[in-house]
Amino acid sequence: MKKIILLALSLALLVTQSVQAAEADATKKPDAAAEQKWTYKTPKLDRAKLEALLAKPSQLLIIDVRRPDEISKIGGFPVYLSIQSKDIENSLKYIPKDRKIVTVSNHAHRAGIAADLLASKGFKVVGAVGSQNYEEEGGVINKIEIPPPKAAASSTDTPKAEVSTTQPKI
């Protein structure tokens, strides 16, 4: 009898733990960027591949396709050409064709779209990278420090114009 009760309690505990684990998995939000499959012709670069390219800066052009507010909030690479993804096709004449190109976005998906477009137009695209993915892999992203707003000048801080009372010599 004791064995049956012990077996029933063990079974109940096991079922409870399984149900709790299933509920935890169901409530966990999946990471949209991680779930999205890479469907682009351009290869997605990891940190090691990007750093190998960054070692030869005279041969490389980084095109960041993010909005300026994303770059200032998240950070970016030290030197890049900023062309938002919606403007790539209209900016082709400004992009040099003599360099290897890496496109950048937050998780590389917009970068993949832009890279495929550039490759189809004859540019030497070597890959796409996500700046946040690069940072998660241990890479260093340059953060843009936004200075605090200047305090409003009070009336006592305003310099007053000085009036000369001397007569000019003639």
pLDDT of residue 158: 54
Whether the Cβ atoms of residue 125 and residue 53 lie closer than 8 Å to each other: no
Q: Is the pTM of this model over 0.95?
A: no
3-state secondary structure of 100: strand
pLDDT of residue 2: 58
CA distances from 57 to 44, 78, 99, 101 (A): 19, 11, 10, 11
DSSP 89: G
Residue 151 lies in a domain: no
Residue 12 lies in a domain: yes
Based on the domain organization, do 92 and 13 belong to the same domain?
Answer: no
Based on the domain organization, do 25 and 97 belong to the same domain?
Answer: no
Based on the domain organization, do 55 and 18 belong to the same domain?
Answer: no
Whether the Cβ atoms of residue 45 and residue 128 lie closer than 8 Å to each other: yes
DSSP string over 105-151: ESSSHHHHHHHHHHHHTT-EEEEEEEHHHHHHTT---BPPPPPPPPP
Residue 66 lies in a domain: yes
pLDDT of residue 157: 56
Based on the domain organization, do 89 and 22 belong to the same domain?
Answer: no
pLDDT of residue 81: 93
Based on the domain organization, do 102 and 114 belong to the same domain?
Answer: yes
Instruction: Render pLDDT for 123-149 as a digit per residue (tens, 0 to 9).
Output: 999 999 999 999 999 999 888 777 788
Based on the domain organization, do 37 and 117 belong to the same domain?
Answer: yes
25, pLDDT greater than 90: no
Domain of 119, in residue numbers: 32-136
Number of domain units in the chain = 2
Based on the domain organization, do 45 and 23 belong to the same domain?
Answer: no
- What mean pLDDT comes out for the span 21-43? 63
